[in-house]
Structure formats: C-alpha cells, structure tokens
Amino acid sequence: MAQKMTILLTGCAGYIGAETARQLLDTGHTVVGVDNLNDYYDVRLKKMRLESLLGKKGFHFLQGDIEDKAFVDQAFSSFPVDKVINLAARAGVPYSMKFPEIYMTTNLMGSLNILQAMNKFGVKKFVLASTSSLYAGQSMPFNEDLPVNTPISPYAASKKAAEVLSYTYHFLYGIDVTIVRYFTVYGPYGRPDMSIFRFIKWIDEGTPITLYGDGSQSRDFTYVEDIARGTILGLKDVGYQIINLGGGNNPIALDTVIHKMEQLLGKKASIENHDFHKTDLRATWANIAKAKALLNWAPEITFDQGLARTVDWYIKNKSEISKIVI
C-alpha cells in the first residue's frame, strides 16, 4: 500500500479505530475519522483516544452517526475518499440482549448507508469489522468456511447481517470487500466493558472481580496493534473475503489471565463467581492460515508482552483511568 490514500475510517474514537488511524497516519495516509462519541461506555475514554489523533497531519474528524444517511453522504462528498474501513459498531453481547434494536440500526443499517454512499460516489473498497462471536457452537480452531448461520446473540446476528449485505453490494456493484473477524482484542485504551480492562482496574483497586463461570473459559487474545495492522492490510483488493484476525495459538483461560495480572500488579485478586451466561462462548481459537496467505499477516505481540504493555499503560495513566466508570 505504497500509494498514499484518503481512508474514511468510521469508529475512529474506538480503541481499534484509534490505533488503526494512528498506523495509517504514521505511514502518510489521510484519514477522515468518523465517530458519534456515544455513551455506550464512558465517553471520557473515547475523548482520550481522539485527543491523541487531533492535530496529527492528515487527520480530519467528523462527529456524526453512520445511521444518519445525510451525514454519511456529506462525509463522502466532502473528501476524495479512496477506500473505507467501517469499525463503527455497537459491540458487546450482554448489552445487545437489552437493546437489540440499537445493534441492528447501527451495525446493519449504518453499514447499508455506507455501502449506498460508496456506490453513489464510486468508492470500490470496503473493509468491515466482524466478530468471532459468530462461531458459537463450531469446532476449533475456527476457520472462515464454517457455517455461521445460527448466531446466539443480537450482536452476532447484526454482524452476520452486515457481512451478508456486504456480499450483496460486492455482487451487484463490484465493491471489493474484506471482512475481518476479530478475536478478543485487548490493549491500552481498551473498552472498559471487556475483561482485560476491568480485571486490571479491579485487582489494582481491590474491587472483587465479577467472573461469569469458573474461569476455565478461554479466549484467543489478540493485541490491538496487531489487529489494526491486519485491518489495514485488508485494504488490498481481494474480491470478497472473510478473514480471521486472531492469536492463532492455543486459547488462554481467564483464570490464567487473572494470575498473570496478579503477578504484574503485585496484588491478589478477589473473585466473585456467577453463573455462566448462555450467550457466552466456552472458548475461541482462530485458524489464521487465510490471513497469512492473503494478507501476509500474523500476530507479532505475544499475550505476555501485550498484557505487560497494557498493565504498564494502566499504571502510567491511573489518575485518569480511575475516573472511568465501568
């Protein structure tokens, strides 16, 4: 991707979005960042990420919602967009159980507005963030050819719907589509509703950890810098491809994660166990052979390295993070 381009990046104040924007800007591309700064979680964290981008050469921020078709069209008409990375989404399984309509309007209808604008303005490359939650009930390691037609949460269903819609626009209008299915992303500035962020904060503060299940459930954790790098590599022309971005190694159990955090923080965790949630996955594990073959991508940061970096970030920014509401 030597040619310098203008990338429309939605969800730029999210932690994957902000890291993706940083990497694009550092390599000389122009980024038109879109975010509505909603209050799904503490907006102060989103503003911290956004402040790290404002003032960087080539970064333009537009505050608005991809559910607003007129706003989306205005974004495309205001800049010479070459390619699109759509990271704007409602994320998280539990919240989707309470507010399923929000997930459909953002994750599906928002994607529709973007695809419509791309067709209108002649933009031919679309990268869509999707999720490993689609693989519920499948045998591991998960590969992209597995049937994922029975999602078990509104979140997963909304992501599946966006994947299918993207194929329709590829077939009808020749839009080149890369769908990247993320596996348990973690790292600095992470979402406070995810286990890595909240467990570190709770252990440090002496607050009991709320753990659903016995801690044996495991995840294929993937560091945010690796995820952003893979997302950017997805900007190449592939036709229509679904590609896993995950650690690709044996998944790590949550009780092991907690033990590693205790060692890094020098503090003991207090744990309150609750019943395992029926929409949760017992384990995730990505087959990343396709990512290696098509994108020449594999994760570079081990879990131990990434967790140490995340704890170090937390310690250095504790005064601000302590104010974040979980």
Q: What per-residue confidence (pLDDT) applies to 72?
A: 98
User: Which are the catalytic amino acids?
Assistant: 155
Residues 6+ apart with CB under 8 A from 266: none
Q: What per-residue confidence (pLDDT) applies to 304?
A: 97
SS3 content of the chain, % helix, strand, coil (to 5): 45, 20, 40
The pLDDT of residue 299 is above 80: yes
Question: What is d(CA 274, CA 175) in angstroms, rounded to the nearest whole number?
Answer: 45
The pLDDT of residue 236 is above 90: yes
- What percent of the chain lies above the pLDDT cut of 90? 83
Q: What per-residue confidence (pLDDT) applies to 232?
A: 98
CATH of domain 6-190+221-247+285-301: 3.40.50.720
The pLDDT of residue 247 is above 90: yes
Domain residue limits, the chain: 6-190+221-247+285-301
Please state the pTM of the whole predicted model. 0.95
Tens digits of residue pLDDT in 125-181:
999 999 999 998 888 899 999 999 999 899 999 999 999 999 999 999 999 999 999
Buried b (16+ CB within 10 A) or exposed e, 21-47: bbbbbeeebbbbbbbbeeebbbeebbe
Tens digits of residue pLDDT in 195-219:
999 999 999 999 999 888 888 889 9
Residues 6+ apart with CB under 8 A from 150: 136, 137
Q: Phi and psi (nearest 5°) for 223?
A: -70, 145
The pLDDT of residue 1 is above 60: no
Q: Phi and psi (nearest 5°) for 131?
A: -140, 150
The pLDDT of residue 93 is above 90: no
